[in-house]
A and B are shown apart, each in its own frame.
Chain A
Amino acid sequence: MYDAMAYLWMIPVFPIVAGFITFIIGPKVLRSQAHLPCIIAGFISFILSLMVLNDVVKAIQTSDKANPSSVAVSYFEWFRTGDPNLVGENFKKAGALKAEFSLRLDPLSSAMIVMVTFLGTLIAVFSTGYMRDHHGHIDPGYPRFFASVSLFLGSMLILVLADNVLLLYAGWEGVGLCSYLLIGFWFEKPSACKAARKAFLVTRLGDVALFLGFASLWVSSGYRLDFDGLLKLDNYDSGVGLACFLMFLGACGKSAQFPLHVWLPDAMEGPSPVSALIHAATMVTAGVYLLARFMPLFASVPEVQMVVIAVGTFTSLLAALIALTQTDLKRILAYSTMSQLGYMFMALGAGIDPKSALPMLAVSAAIFHLLTHAFFKALLFLSAGSVMHSMHDVIDLRRIGGLRKVLPLTHIGFLCGALALAGLPPFAGFWSKDEILSVIHETSKASNYPWFYILMWAIGIFVAFLTAFYTFRAYFLTFWGVLKLPEECHGEVHESPKSMTLPLMLLSLFALGIGFGLSNFTPFSIETFLGKIPGYLIQDHHSHDWLTVGFATFAGLAGLILAFVFYGSGNVTISEQAIGKSNFAVELSKNKFFFDEIYNKLLIAPLNLIFYCARIFDQYILDGIVDLIAHIPRIFAQLFRPIQNGLVQFYALAMILAVTVFLIALARSM
């Protein structure tokens, strides 16, 4: 465990260095090989992560004082404010701040880094195929893409490895920046620019709240920045609730939860691997990671936890309803991501009592779902990307269909992902989703408001049904039925290159196996693994909530069958009816519940009014004053301008007059 700390720092540093190298020499030197630094660095980081994971597993198995399962090491002092000679109380009172570049290794972060590096590398490999056209010519921004991806990986790794909130925040902003760069990758498209700006600004709202949350944590914990100090409840007098609420708002921004969810669907403007990497597997899970990291604090404020679970449930329901009627494949996946993130927040919100094992169960359920979701959602996005690549960037469900035969590998990949997402046994989603619902069920027994949690549970089951329905709607519409090709293809379709299908196959295996592999039925149970994070109570017996399992499986199956009946059976009338019918509910869903419009009317319009007033103020009052100041010399200058009459003799005369004046001054002073 301690040995691992010697090379832990390399894990984030490799991708960052690779990113800068690609930025600098990529466009001129590497050109079409610009993916090499990114992939090599990602792969090295992945190997290192596996070694780290191995060490952590060993430490958990031995679990003694000499080999703790959670270690933090400070590599160097990052910055320091205030007088360094002040120590102890004075140091804190002076508001002095000392931030170190310190990394923490524990089961949570080790699980995250393995997932991030693995998916990152895989997606980078996939991108080498995706970012070329059908003749193998690279995209003009090829080096920029891989540099950004590399930097993104580094930032994400810093985020999950950081041992103090400032470093975490640095990583948080780093992924925000890289996300902006990647969403706006095709900046020639106005819609991409707009989406990038929207994502950046909306998440920025959350970031502000997050920073305020960190600040209030810092103050109320007695000026601590490291997690050891922050997670000890004894350190706090009050203010935990406020800090937790603010942090939750920050997590909402990054993880696209209501009300800051509006950026995620638009973020699909970026290349599909970006959607897979950022908006499914890694960045959006940062919020989940944050809440999981601070679970001991959140568990102590059940009021905030109720907000968390309510928001999570609402988001998952909302996203699932919207996804029902969307016709853009990537957009459906984006909404399903939102919905699944809502699931994770539901799980996190279920950890209420710090004295019980519930927080541990909640964290392990959320992280379990995070991991499985990362794999199958990456798979789904990459499959969608593969479809998009083959269909010449057309993924409108109304214009494609019956691709089962022409894209067999992609079809298998998408099917595995869809089954996992729908939560059907034995695919990954089944295990993690059931875990979440079981935790909520558990919580309802422990809480003072059982009906509230029962309601959440019921909605969760309903969302599981909806999830299965919209997933398979997309699946059937894309791969079943009559072969329908957009005219951009000119009738030619071929399967994507190996660099794209190989990652798909690999991910399919994971989507198939990872759920069971990490479940309680195996020795690698995520629950026992995460339970070893210091500070959690461990539940020894594993009770299996068969009721929940049954309901959820049934819901999933029902959704699948319904989707088959509507879209897969080839019965055109039913699907026509389902899609074509226009009533209020369908309109609501199609238009994403008019959130963009509501925000426009309620938030952006008043803001625009303020901006307009400010502009008027600036233009006419401030600029007026400045212009006035500029005009005064101009008026004087107008008086003297006739002196510049072009007669050089006149200039000489003026010069001599000036010399005379100086001479008079000199003579008087003698």
Chain B
Amino acid sequence: MLDLKIYLILGAILFCIGLIGFVSRRNMITMFLSAELMLQGVAINFLAFSRFRGNLQGQSFVLFILSVAACEAAIALALIVILYRAKNSLDVSKWQDLREEDLEPNEDPEILLLDTFQIEPMPTLPVAGHRPAKEEDASHV
């Protein structure tokens, strides 16, 4: 028979994986997904407590977490959009204004060779309401 502990450990695992992702990944969207993953771990914790206590307080708490996560998503997505507009990149490392005044910004050397990675291009959205005339037009929004 499973006990409370194993559910809590599962929640902790999800939380820590989300933490690692949040700290190490540089794409803002991935970071945000990692934060949501951490919330999932917390939700499992609450539900497990609820289950093993035999009442519904934990479940109602998870519902509140869900609503807060939804708000967070709305705001974060809006922020990501304007941040992207400012730097034309989703890289969170472009934002280093909090550093000490006389420190040099942490620049990544641009030695990225795309060929070696062979990453597929991102899916793009065609211009709404128009049939793309050429193949290249599809990449414009």
A and B touch in the complex (CB under 8 A): yes
A: which residues have CB within 8 A of B? 641-642, 644-649, 651-653, 656
CB distance from A636 to the nearest CB of B (A): 15
CB contacts (< 8 Å) of A651 on chain B: these are: 98
CB contacts (< 8 Å) of A641 on chain B: these are: 100, 103
CB distance from B9 to the nearest CB of A (A): 14
CB distance from B112 to the nearest CB of A (A): 19
Q: Which of B60-68, B89-97, B118-126 contacts A (4 or more CB under 8 A)?
A: B89-97
CB distance from A512 to the nearest CB of B (A): 81
Closest to A641 in B: B100
Question: Given that A641-B100, A641-B103, A642-B103 are known contacts, is A648 also in contact with B19, CB under 8 Å in the complex?
Answer: no
Complex CA–CA separation, A658 to B75 (angstroms):
29
B99 at interface, CB cutoff 8 A: yes
B: which residues have CB within 8 A of A? 19, 22-24, 26, 31, 92-93, 95-100, 103, 105-106
CB contacts (< 8 Å) of A645 on chain B: these are: 96, 99-100, 103, 106
**A652 B23 Cβ-Cβ under 8 A:** yes
**B22 A649 Cβ-Cβ under 8 A:** yes
**B23 A656 Cβ-Cβ under 8 A:** yes
**B23 A647 Cβ-Cβ under 8 A:** no
Question: Given that A644-B99, A656-B19 are known contacts, is A649 also in contact with B24, CB under 8 Å in the complex?
Answer: yes
Complex CA–CA separation, A30 to B122 (angstroms):
82
Closest to B16 in A: A656
**A648 B22 Cβ-Cβ under 8 A:** no
**A646 B99 Cβ-Cβ under 8 A:** yes
Complex CA–CA separation, A642 to B31 (angstroms):
24
Complex CA–CA separation, A651 to B95 (angstroms):
13
CB contacts (< 8 Å) of B103 on chain A: these are: 641-642, 644-646
Complex CA–CA separation, A641 to B26 (angstroms):
22
CB distance from A661 to the nearest CB of B (A): 15
Complex CA–CA separation, A653 to B22 (angstroms):
9
CB contacts (< 8 Å) of A653 on chain B: these are: 23
CB distance from B45 to the nearest CB of A (A): 15
Closest to B98 in A: A646
One of B23, B97, B100 near A649 (C-beta < 8 A): B23
Question: Given that A646-B103, A646-B105, A647-B93 are known contacts, is A652 also in contact with B98, CB under 8 Å in the complex?
Answer: no
Question: Given that A641-B103, A656-B19 are known contacts, is A646 also in contact with B97, CB under 8 Å in the complex?
Answer: yes
SS class of chain A's interface: helix, strand, loop or mixed? helix
10 other contacts beyond A646-B106, A651-B98, with CB at 8 A cut-off?
A642-B100, A644-B99, A645-B99, A645-B106, A646-B97, A646-B98, A646-B103, A647-B96, A649-B26, A653-B23
One of A644, A647, A652 near B100 (C-beta < 8 A): A644
Closest to B31 in A: A649
SS class of chain B's interface: helix, strand, loop or mixed? loop
One of B22, B26, B93, B99 near A652 (C-beta < 8 A): B22
Complex CA–CA separation, A651 to B93 (angstroms):
13
CB distance from A233 to the nearest CB of B (A): 77
CB distance from A38 to the nearest CB of B (A): 58
Closest to A651 in B: B98
Report 18 cross-chain contacts, Cβ distance below 8 Å, ordered by A residue.
Answer: A641-B100, A644-B98, A644-B100, A645-B96, A646-B96, A646-B97, A646-B99, A646-B100, A647-B96, A647-B99, A648-B98, A649-B23, A649-B26, A649-B31, A649-B92, A651-B98, A652-B22, A656-B19
Complex CA–CA separation, A645 to B98 (angstroms):
7
Complex CA–CA separation, A641 to B100 (angstroms):
7
CB distance from A540 to the nearest CB of B (A): 93
CB distance from B1 to the nearest CB of A (A): 25
Which interface residue of A641, A646, A651, A653 has the most chain B CB atoms within 10 A?
Answer: A646
CB contacts (< 8 Å) of A644 on chain B: these are: 98-100, 103
CB contacts (< 8 Å) of B26 on chain A: these are: 649
CB distance from A623 to the nearest CB of B (A): 25
**B106 A648 Cβ-Cβ under 8 A:** no
Closest to B93 in A: A647
CB distance from B59 to the nearest CB of A (A): 27
CB contacts (< 8 Å) of B24 on chain A: these are: 649
Which interface residue of B23, B92, B93, B95 has the most chain A CB atoms within 10 A?
Answer: B23
Complex CA–CA separation, A652 to B24 (angstroms):
10
CB contacts (< 8 Å) of B99 on chain A: these are: 644-647
CB distance from A655 to the nearest CB of B (A): 10
CB distance from A566 to the nearest CB of B (A): 78
CB contacts (< 8 Å) of A647 on chain B: these are: 92-93, 96, 99, 106
CB contacts (< 8 Å) of B31 on chain A: these are: 649
CB contacts (< 8 Å) of A648 on chain B: these are: 92, 95, 98
CB distance from B13 to the nearest CB of A (A): 15
CB contacts (< 8 Å) of B98 on chain A: these are: 644, 646, 648, 651
Closest to B97 in A: A646
Closest to B96 in A: A646
CB distance from B6 to the nearest CB of A (A): 19
Complex CA–CA separation, A353 to B120 (angstroms):
121
Complex CA–CA separation, A646 to B22 (angstroms):
16
Complex CA–CA separation, A625 to B43 (angstroms):
56
Complex CA–CA separation, A642 to B106 (angstroms):
10
CB contacts (< 8 Å) of A652 on chain B: these are: 22-23
CB contacts (< 8 Å) of A656 on chain B: these are: 19, 23
Complex CA–CA separation, A642 to B99 (angstroms):
8
CB contacts (< 8 Å) of A642 on chain B: these are: 100, 103
Complex CA–CA separation, A233 to B103 (angstroms):
81
Shortest 7 CB-CB contacts between residues of A and residues of B: A646-B99, A646-B96, A646-B98, A644-B100, A653-B23, A645-B99, A641-B100
CB distance from B78 to the nearest CB of A (A): 18
Closest to A650 in B: B23
CB distance from B97 to the nearest CB of A (A): 6
CB contacts (< 8 Å) of B97 on chain A: these are: 646
Complex CA–CA separation, A435 to B97 (angstroms):
89
CB contacts (< 8 Å) of B96 on chain A: these are: 645-647
Complex CA–CA separation, A653 to B95 (angstroms):
17
CB contacts (< 8 Å) of B105 on chain A: these are: 646
Closest to B24 in A: A649
Closest to B99 in A: A646
Complex CA–CA separation, A38 to B106 (angstroms):
73
Complex CA–CA separation, A434 to B3 (angstroms):
118
CB distance from B102 to the nearest CB of A (A): 9
Closest to A653 in B: B23
Complex CA–CA separation, A646 to B95 (angstroms):
7
CB contacts (< 8 Å) of B92 on chain A: these are: 647-649
Complex CA–CA separation, A656 to B21 (angstroms):
13
Closest to B102 in A: A641
CB distance from A637 to the nearest CB of B (A): 10
CB distance from A666 to the nearest CB of B (A): 15
Complex CA–CA separation, A656 to B31 (angstroms):
16
Closest to B106 in A: A645
Complex CA–CA separation, A457 to B97 (angstroms):
89
CB distance from A548 to the nearest CB of B (A): 86
CB distance from B132 to the nearest CB of A (A): 38
CB distance from B37 to the nearest CB of A (A): 15
CB distance from A526 to the nearest CB of B (A): 80
CB distance from A648 to the nearest CB of B (A): 7
Complex CA–CA separation, A659 to B105 (angstroms):
27
